[in-house]
Structures are given as structure tokens and as C-alpha cells.
Amino acid sequence: MTKRVAAGAHGHRWHPWGALAGGAMLALPGMVLPGVVLPGVALAQGTAPPPQAAPMLAEPTLALPTLSVIDQGPVDGYQALRSRTATRTDTPLRDVPQSVNVITQQAMRDLSMQSLQDVLRYVPGAGYAQGEGNRDNPVLRGQATNASLFVDGLRDDAQYYRDIYNIDRVETLLGPSAMIFGRGGAGGVVNRVTRQADWTQVREARVQAGSFGNRRASLDVGDAIDDNFAYRLLGMYEDSDSFRNGVHLRRHGFNPSFAWRDGNATTLRLSYENFRDERNADRGIPSLNGRPFQTGAGNFFGDPRLSTTHANVNALNLFAEHSFENNLTLRNQFRFASYDKQYQNVYASGPVSGTTYPVGAYNNAQRRDNFYNQTDLVARLDTGPLRHDLVAGMELGRQVTDNVRMTGYFTALGANATTYTASVFSPRINQPITFRPSATDANNHGVADTFALYVQDQVQLLPNVQLLAGLRYENFNTDFLNNRTQDRFRVSDSVVSPRLGLVYKPVEPVSLYASFSTSYLPRAGEQLASLTLTNAALKPERFTNYEVGAKWDIRPALSLTAALFQLDRTNVAVTDPANVTRLILLDGTRTRGFELGLRGRITAAWSVMGGYTYSDSVISADQSATIRKGNATPFVSRNAFSLWNRYDFTPQFGSYQPKLGVGLGVIHQSAYFAATDNSVRIPSFTRLDAAAYWDITPQYSAQLNFENLAGAKYYPVADGNNNISPGAPFAVRAALTVRF
């Protein structure tokens, strides 16, 4: 949690020796000094001095305007100042030669964000796919992936919908980043940073209700037990309906954390999370003539009663850090996470034809256990005129995964009928369905072991030139058993992933950078379920990113970032047209683009967050009869824009001064294609949102969020040509926060 003293945009604590007004004087006997501004220290205006300050001196003096000290920490309002995510060292974001976007807790709360999809709308270069209505599926620089999700820097790549009730901020590092995070993360990674016990007193409860039966409550309680021990308890419960007919959501989370420290040298942390998400899996609507079928936004195509999904997550995290006297820090993290996931779909399996559409059904169960351990040795040292921030580390990991899929049979039509024809005038069906394995359904058991060594150096070459260079060696071994055929594959991939970046600062608030990075994805796939005899020996897919950019701290509380990039995906396996029993490797996609981001405070009262992305993402080579060179990559809009504004003001009503704020935002997304064959085009949209805030007292705050003010009809995400999700119509959410 950010600790602040002195006045700020949303009100902060007064520091006893840093709050004298401009015009109040801090005098030193016999000393004459001009006004001084210290680096990183803001001058407070209009604050009265403490009573004891005036009579301190008897001699004539020339006084100094008193200084307000702000401990900004990593986050200030909507703006993040520094992070460990991108480099494994505590580094100002301006010094990171790669695009890093941070959505802070303040931003998530102000916009009443409910999911990672809401978060990524405000990240330039990031998008979202539907994920079959059962999981988070970010799209980063044109790459849709499930292997790009992390929590506190450790892998969290199971397929489920995450919540943000226990999240301090969400950090998105764009561009392949295997040097830091290992396999996957093709277009970047999304890292959720959790709230931890930090010796700060927290007492907060929040309740929320809104349109379409939205009901949610959360609790955040933490404190110091003494100078050595601290705790924090976070919890959430939600029971909500939806604008989609027959769709319901129920979830809860409980996340206690404990911390122990021995002075400033040693810190130990322990946390546990139980999270459960239950909902109807919603695959949206089908298409007609290359466009989404025109129907009511609430119409469910299929059977919501039998379209269900649940995920149960139990995760244990251990963290230890010790700082030695010679600028050496040893850090270790361990995470064990057990994921139990099941989903079932009765959905539109094809386009509308006349007045009917086809319905298909299947279910899938996945169980995964993740064990990951990272050890980092961080050293700050000088070699002659050069200063180094050096990281050397090792990662050990094991993932044990079981996947079972079964096909749905419409037994009223016949024992082996896998398709039911439904009317578009009554799209919600109610038919008996039996689920059983077909001759090709997956039934797999996989064990993947990871061993990695990495080293990275951040070198201060000159006062205004920094070099970042890193190298990771990773060995990825997969033992894969097809329980259906009893085929067994043992595959080993060893990959070296480099990273190189250069930062030049023509003036201190501005940095210009260039970078190169890579990542890869072994043939076992993101979910360890795609090995076959034909692909087991193929080289991993490779992702290569070239990027140049600029970062400008326009003022201490406002940052502007820009990046130009090219991301190439290679080693894509496709069927050999000359021999259908073989696979060959081809170029996959090339994404070129421009990203622009703005975050922070334009004035003390006006906060902004947003950005613009231009993406040209295309298929690089013919991959099949329908996936042709030059086709657009699915789920990627050529132009995407988002901007949120919050303005705070304090009107005077006699002696009463309520703290009020308003928010206004716009999200625009140009057209995109729902699949690689480019046969269905999803139209562009523009959505307007708004909010109102009222700090009733220091203990009570209220807010109203208005989504889709103009009632735009839009389709924000898809998962193929006939699974297109309608966006919600106009909705209102009200929240009350109590601090005690």
C-alpha cells in the first residue's frame, strides 16, 4: 500500500515537520538561505504551521519555505513510478527499455472494474478474446494466449476467470519476455501484484449493487501486531445475474497473508488463497452472412442450464528476502497452486442458415498442480566507472495436468446425434443431452518439468546511458500420456532466450530506448494437451520482438509513453500439402504497431488514464486453404482508443465542504475478425462511461458508475466465427465503502 503524508489530490495525512505554508518560515539561527527545492520533494501550499514552530528563534533569520515530504512508493494515484516485474530489480519505469503499463488499485476502484477484461481495455497494445466463455484470454500485441498470466511474478497459467479483489495493481509487460518469465508470454505477460501485510492499518468494507442483479461485497483488514509481525485478511463474495438470459455468476475469495521482519534486513511472507468461481459458460451468438446475427443482446443461443463452468483454486505462496551489508540481496519465492476446473457448453456450433442454427455440446475437465520456485541474487556494484544492478537466478518448476473432454449427444434425435437444429426465434433450447467420450476426445496426463538459469545486468554506462542485457537458459521436459490410445511421448526442449535494451536520457525527465527480446512455446502447448506423434519432435514456436520507444515524465505526477514495435511469430506447425501425414514449420504472424499511453494527474484535481494503439497484425504465410498469407490476425482491432478522466472538486455549502468527484471515459475499438479465415467481421464500436464520487466523511465513501451511457450495441470479444459476445447495454453500479 502506498504511504503518503501531506496534501494530495485525494487527501492525505499531514506530516508534522513538512506542512508549513508558503509564507510560513522555517528559520535557522544566524543563517541566511534562499528557498530550496529538494529533488523528489513537493512544496506544500496553504497549510498552517504547527503552533510550536513560530517562537523557536530569537535571532534575525531569512526563512525557508517549508517542505512537504511524500513517500510515493511504487504507485501514485493512476500513475505507477517503478516496478520489479520488468527487470526483477526495483527500477523506475522510465529506465525500463520495454513497454510496461500499470493499472493501479485506485484506477480499478474508480472505474469499478470487475475483471481482467475491464483492466486490459485501458492498456495500449492489449486486448481480449472470449475464451469460450470460461476463462481469461488476453490478446497481447496480436497474440491470444493463456500462458501469459502471472501473480507476484510466478506462473498462474491455468484456465479460469481471475478476480481483482486482492490485487494492488496489474502490470502488463508487452513484447516477448522469456528472459524474465520463461516459456509462453508470446506477446507479453500480465502480472497481478497482490496486496500484502505491510504494517499499515487497513479497515475497509465495501458493498456493491447494480443493474442486472449485480451484488458484491469485499473486506480488507490488516495491521501490525508489533514491529516484527503484520497480517492482512482479504475476502470477497459475489452473487450476480447478467443481462444475458439464464446467465448467473457466483464467486468467493479468501486471501490471508502474514509477514515477519527482522529490522530492515530480513523479511518473510506467507499467504494463502482459496478462490472459487461458478457461472454459466456463455459463448455468445452466431453469425449470418459474415456479420454477427442481429438479435436481442440478452438472447442465449444454446442451453444456459447445461452450460456451466466452475474453477476452484487453492494457492500457497512463500517469500523470503535478506539484504546483506554489501549491497547484496538474496530472494526466494515458492508457489504451490492447485486448480480444479470444469466447463460444459451447449452452444451455437455454426452460422445461422435461414431461420435456424446448429447446436453442439461438449464438456471438459482439467486438473492442474503447479509447483514453482525462484531464487534471485541481486547485487549492486561498481566496476571502475560503471555501476551494475546484477541479477543471477534459478527457477525450478513442475506442472502436473490432466485433461478429459467428452462430446454431447442429443439422444432424442439418435444415440450418436451430435448436432441439434434450433430456431433463431426461440434460440434457448431444452433438450436431453448425454456426455460421453468420442473416438477423438482428449484424455491426457502430462507432467512438465522446468529448469532455468538466468543472468541480467543493468549497466550505467554514462550518466545518461543505460544498458540492459540478459540471457536465460531453460530446459523444458514433458512426459505426456494419451490415456485414450496409450501413446506416450517424452519431449525435451532446451532454449536460450536473450534480452537486450538501451536507454538514453537526453534530459532527466525523458528516456529514449531500443530493445530486442524473445520467447518460445514448446509443442506441449500452453495447457500441456497438444502433443502428437507428428509434432512431438518439432522445434518450439518462437516469438521475436523489436521495439523503440520514448517515456516522458511531463511532470512528477504525469507520464507519457510511446512505442513502435514489430513482433514476429515463427515455427508455426501446419499440415504439409504434399503429405497430409506430416507437419511443416512456417512463419506464423507479423504484428507491427504503435502504442501511446498517458497516466497521472494533469492538475491536482484532474486525473487521466488511457492510450491509443495502432496494430497491423497479419498472417505471414499460407497455412491452409482458408488461412492465407495477408489475412488479419483474429481479435485484433487496427485502431483502439481508451481515455478515462476523473475530476475532483470541493464545493462550499456554508460550513460544509463535501469531497466530490466525477468521471468520464470513452472506449473505441475498430472492426476486427473473429477467426483466421477472416470470413466474419465484427463491427467497430464506441462506448461512453461515467462515474460520480462522494467522500461523505473520512469513514464513508460512495460512488456510482454508469456503463455504456449511450446504449451502444457492440461486440467486444469473440472466440471464432460463431461465438460472438454482445456487450452489455446501459448499466449502473453503486458502491459504498466503510473504513473503521
Tens-digit pLDDT profile for residues 513-566: 999 999 998 887 677 777 777 777 788 999 999 999 999 999 989 999 999 999
| Judgement on whether residues 173 and 312 belong to the same structural domain of the protein | no
| Residue scoring higher pLDDT (32 or 420) | 420
> Residue 251: CB partners within 8 Å, gap ≥ 6?
161, 163, 236, 237, 238, 275, 276, 277, 278, 279
The overall average pLDDT reported for the chain is 88
Residue 493 has pLDDT above 60, yes or no: yes
* pLDDT at residue number 731: 97
Residue 65 has pLDDT above 60, yes or no: no
b/e for 12-44, b at 16 or more Cβ within 10 A?
A: eeebeebbbeeebbbbeeeeeeeeeeeeeebbb
With beta carbons less than 8 A apart as the criterion, state whether 460 and 489 touch. no
Phi, psi dihedral angles at 658 (to 5 degrees) = -70, 145
| Final residue belonging to a domain, choices 71, 94, 122 | 71
Cell of 59: 535571532
Q: Using 50, 70 and 90 to split pLDDT, how confident is the model at 179?
A: very high
With beta carbons less than 8 A apart as the criterion, state whether 560 and 530 touch. no
| Judgement on whether residues 561 and 657 belong to the same structural domain of the protein | yes
Say which DSSP state 110 is in. H
Task: Give the residue-averaged pLDDT of 63-68.
Answer: 41
Owner of C-alpha cell 482459496: 274
* pLDDT at residue number 312: 98
Say which DSSP state 325 is in. T
In this structure, what CATH number is given to the domain that contains residue 553?
2.40.170.20
How do residues 207-257 score in pLDDT, each as one tens digit?
Answer: 999 999 999 999 999 999 999 999 999 999 999 999 999 999 999 999 999
| Final residue belonging to a domain, choices 50, 71, 92 | 71
Which residue range is the domain that position 18 belongs to? 1-71
Q: Which of 273, 269, 362 shows the shortest CA–CA distance to 309?
A: 362
Phi/psi zone of residue 173: left (φ > 0), alpha (ψ -120 to 50 degrees), beta? beta
Phi/psi zone of residue 301: left (φ > 0), alpha (ψ -120 to 50 degrees), beta? beta
Cell of 110: 474508480
| Judgement on whether residues 567 and 636 belong to the same structural domain of the protein | yes
Whole-angstrom distance, CA of residue 326 vs CA of residue 458: 18
Residue 120 has pLDDT above 70, yes or no: yes
Residue 726 has pLDDT above 90, yes or no: yes
| Residue scoring higher pLDDT (584 or 234) | 234
Cell of 406: 467428452
Whole-angstrom distance, CA of residue 294 vs CA of residue 290: 12
| Judgement on whether residues 206 and 183 belong to the same structural domain of the protein | no
Residue 95 has pLDDT above 50, yes or no: yes
Beta bridge partners, 672, equal 682
* pLDDT at residue number 73: 58
b/e for 119-139, b at 16 or more Cβ within 10 A?
A: bbbbbbbbbbbbbbbbbbbbb
The one-letter amino acid at 147: A
Phi, psi dihedral angles at 425 (to 5 degrees) = -80, -15
Number of domains in the chain: 3
* pLDDT at residue number 7: 35
| Residue scoring higher pLDDT (583 or 244) | 244
* pLDDT at residue number 228: 96
* pLDDT at residue number 603: 93
Cell of 643: 481515455
* pLDDT at residue number 45: 35
* pLDDT at residue number 528: 73
* pLDDT at residue number 283: 96
| Judgement on whether residues 504 and 394 belong to the same structural domain of the protein | yes
Q: The whole model's pTM is what?
A: 0.88
Beta bridge partners, 236, equal 218, 253
| Judgement on whether residues 278 and 186 belong to the same structural domain of the protein | no
Whole-angstrom distance, CA of residue 389 vs CA of residue 382: 9
Residue 40 has pLDDT above 80, yes or no: no
| Judgement on whether residues 26 and 97 belong to the same structural domain of the protein | no
| Residue scoring higher pLDDT (262 or 32) | 262
b/e for 204-228, b at 16 or more Cβ within 10 A?
A: bebebebbbebebbbbbbbeeeeee
Q: Which of 153, 171, 122, 166 shows the shortest CA–CA distance to 642?
A: 122
Task: Give the residue-averaged pLDDT of 116-134.
Answer: 94
CA atoms within 13 A on the CB side of 737: 20
Write the burial class of residue 605 (CB in 10 Å: 0-12 exposed, 13-18 middle, 19+ buried).
middle
Pairing between β-strand 188-194 and β-strand 149-151 as defined by DSSP bridges = parallel
The one-letter amino acid at 301: F
Residue 476 has pLDDT above 80, yes or no: yes
In this structure, what CATH number is given to the domain that contains residue 190?
2.170.130.10
| Judgement on whether residues 497 and 634 belong to the same structural domain of the protein | yes
Stretch (H or E) spanning 581: strand 579-586
Phi/psi zone of residue 146: left (φ > 0), alpha (ψ -120 to 50 degrees), beta? alpha
| Judgement on whether residues 310 and 283 belong to the same structural domain of the protein | yes
How do residues 140-150 score in pLDDT, each as one tens digit?
Answer: 999 988 888 99
Phi/psi zone of residue 570: left (φ > 0), alpha (ψ -120 to 50 degrees), beta? beta
| Judgement on whether residues 278 and 386 belong to the same structural domain of the protein | yes
Task: Give the residue-averaged pLDDT of 580-602.
Answer: 89
| Final residue belonging to a domain, choices 25, 52, 71 | 71
How many residues can be counted in the chain?
A: 740
Task: Give the residue-averaged pLDDT of 679-696.
Answer: 97
Task: Give the residue-averaged pLDDT of 76-97.
Answer: 93
Q: Using 50, 70 and 90 to split pLDDT, how confident is the model at 572?
A: confident
| Judgement on whether residues 247 and 261 belong to the same structural domain of the protein | yes
The one-letter amino acid at 565: F
Phi/psi zone of residue 17: left (φ > 0), alpha (ψ -120 to 50 degrees), beta? alpha
How do residues 587-597 score in pLDDT, each as one tens digit?
Answer: 899 999 999 99
Residue 55 has pLDDT above 70, yes or no: no
Residue 61 has pLDDT above 60, yes or no: no
Stretch (H or E) spanning 688: strand 685-695
| Judgement on whether residues 115 and 232 belong to the same structural domain of the protein | no
Q: Using 50, 70 and 90 to split pLDDT, how confident is the model at 657?
A: low
* pLDDT at residue number 450: 95
